Amino acid sequence: MRSRTASLSASAAAVALVAAIGVAPPAAAEPCTGAAANAMPSDQPQLPPDAGLPDQGGELPVGHKPRNAKENAPLPSLGKLLMSVFTPKSAKVDKQAAVAPTPKPKAVPAQQPAAVAQPAAEPPPPPAPPGTTVVGWVTGLDSGENTLGRFGISGTDLGIMWDNGDAANHQVMMAFGDTYGYCVVHGHQWRFNTLMRTQDGTLAHGIKVADGSVSNPYSGSPQWVPGFSKQVIPSMRWAQRERGVIPTAGIAVGRTQLMNFMSIKNWDSDGRWTTNYSALAVSNDNGQTWGVYPGTVRTPTPDSLPNAAYAPGNENFQQGAFLKTGDGYLYSFGTPSGRGGSVYLSRVPQSQAPDLTKYEYWNADSNSWVPTNPAAATVVIPGPVGEMSAQYNTYLKQFVVLYCNGIGDVVMRTAPAPQGPWGPEQMLVSGTALPGGIYAPYLHPWSTGKELYYNLSLWSAYNVMLMRTVLP
């Protein structure tokens, strides 16, 4: 439970936020309202016959709605403003050992080439005070990137980010969930998922994305036709009922891109949904085309799929977060479907990620990794945990995870190892500071120092914002 001082500070921050930016017209939790509802394509894209748009288009996945979302909440006019969201010292509960003074590392990770660093000719922006700010929209009509005209994206969420591992063409991949295009078109041009790529390393000004392409695997987005981003993870059509194919984590092993995804059986209620299975998708052309490893399917119950075996414990790995530590393993955090579960941990040699028989599961009772048996995995972070991301932070010299907790706050935990012990929750963004329902804080892979940048979804706008937190 938060202290009374922290609660009062959070309330004051929310009032300051509204006073700083004003109040825009109400925005319902439906992307096809307001300006997006009447936006007309200059040239209606003619999709190829095999484009395969999902059949159930046009309905917002209500079960993905955060529990604290207010559908008619005022929509902040973010634009290019830098706005203080939450800074009270009373909410910072970091152990002193985790933030002890150390030589400040380079701002750009060692693996990041100079091509994506801030140009020397451009003076750096003045440092922001410690705390969290909204940098601006990543997607939507207000993003400044014209994601509707250039990618056919008026509304989407998530924005899971990872480094593509290609030193010659260094990029960050961003995977999005259910995506809407031009609302005047039947079905709203709905896709289960989409992907963008960026080389932008000057994150204080937002995320710039180059134009997409039908054939160029290093363009800003894989597209079916110019100006219309395609659904990248295909449906295997194994389930009788499938309401979504939603990415939950991404990582590069060498130059091979891996995405964990979940097949949605039903959006049940706010923050709750049921999965058919989770699985691993793969791309060998920088995310331009994707396939699915059938052998990586994890079903949550014995009767989930007629053609897939169930292993006890796989229900705890329906959603995930990837992490590499330099020891040759790929670590995969897992949670049950929805935002109410706890976190479990597995690992696998990176080259053997598609083989579930090679996975080991952390068991705290025996203080050891147990091979093959997902039921042996014990809780490493207690729930409720929403969509999570993880990385090693060079400033804290600790592993870091971000997620939304049960009351809708963006929180951070730190640990000396992936298996923990994980410290207490540290609030970065109060759910009351950005009304409308925030969820899915996904860390930027090039942001590993004192300044954390991460994507965050806002339900009332059904779009993604870029956030910035300066660690104490």
pLDDT 10s digits, 358-414:
999 999 999 999 999 999 999 999 999 999 999 999 999 999 999 999 999 999 999
SS3 content of the chain, % helix, strand, coil (to 5): 15, 35, 55
> For residues 82 and 79, what is the distance between their CA atoms, to the nearest angstrom?
9
Backbone angles phi, psi at 371, to 5 degrees: -75, 145
**Given this model, what pLDDT does residue 109 score?**
38
Q: What percent of the chain has pLDDT over 70?
A: 77
Other Cβ atoms within 10 Å of 412 Cβ, number? 23
**Given this model, what pLDDT does residue 64 score?**
84
Q: What percent of the chain has pLDDT over 90?
A: 67
- Residue 138, classed as helix, strand or coil, is coil
Whether pLDDT at 87 is above 50: no
**Given this model, what pLDDT does residue 51 score?**
63
Check the CA dihedral 357-360-365-368 and report its sign. positive
Check the CA dihedral 436-441-442-448 and report its sign. positive
**Given this model, what pLDDT does residue 19 score?**
26
Whether pLDDT at 125 is above 60: no
Longest dimension (CA), the chain: 62
Range of the domain at 239: 4-470
Higher-confidence position of 183 and 191 = 191
Closest CA to 233 of 217, 220, 212, 247: 247
pTM here is: 0.84
**Given this model, what pLDDT does residue 55 score?**
63
Higher-confidence position of 233 and 22 = 233
Whether pLDDT at 301 is above 60: yes
Whether pLDDT at 189 is above 50: yes
Taking all residues of the chain, what is their mean pLDDT, rounded to a whole number? 82
DSSP sequence for 279-313: EEEEESSTTSS-EEEEEEEE-SSTTS-TTS---TT
Higher-confidence position of 369 and 13 = 369
**Given this model, what pLDDT does residue 118 score?**
35
Other Cβ atoms within 10 Å of 47 Cβ, number? 15
Q: What is the mean pLDDT of residues 237-262?
A: 96
**Given this model, what pLDDT does residue 150 score?**
96
User: Cα dist. 185→54, 55, 62, 182, 384 in Å?
Assistant: 14, 14, 21, 6, 38
Based on the structure, what is the number of domains in the chain? 1
**Given this model, what pLDDT does residue 30 score?**
60
Closest CA to 211 of 196, 224, 201, 200: 196
Degrees, nearest 5: CA angle 290-292-297: 155
Backbone angles phi, psi at 314, to 5 degrees: -65, -20
Structure confidence at residue 58 as a pLDDT band (50, 70, 90): low
Whether pLDDT at 334 is above 90: yes
Task: Retrieve residue 108's tokens.
Answer: 């750009």
**Given this model, what pLDDT does residue 363 score?**
98
Side chain identity at 155, as an amino acid letter? G
* Least confident span in 85-94, 128-137, 264-273: 85-94
**Given this model, what pLDDT does residue 53 score?**
67
> For residues 222 and 126, what is the distance between their CA atoms, to the nearest angstrom?
35
Q: Per residue in 64-81, pLDDT tens?
A: 888 778 766 655 544 333
Q: What is the CATH number of the domain that holds 171?
A: 2.115.10
Q: What is the mean pLDDT of residues 427-436?
A: 88
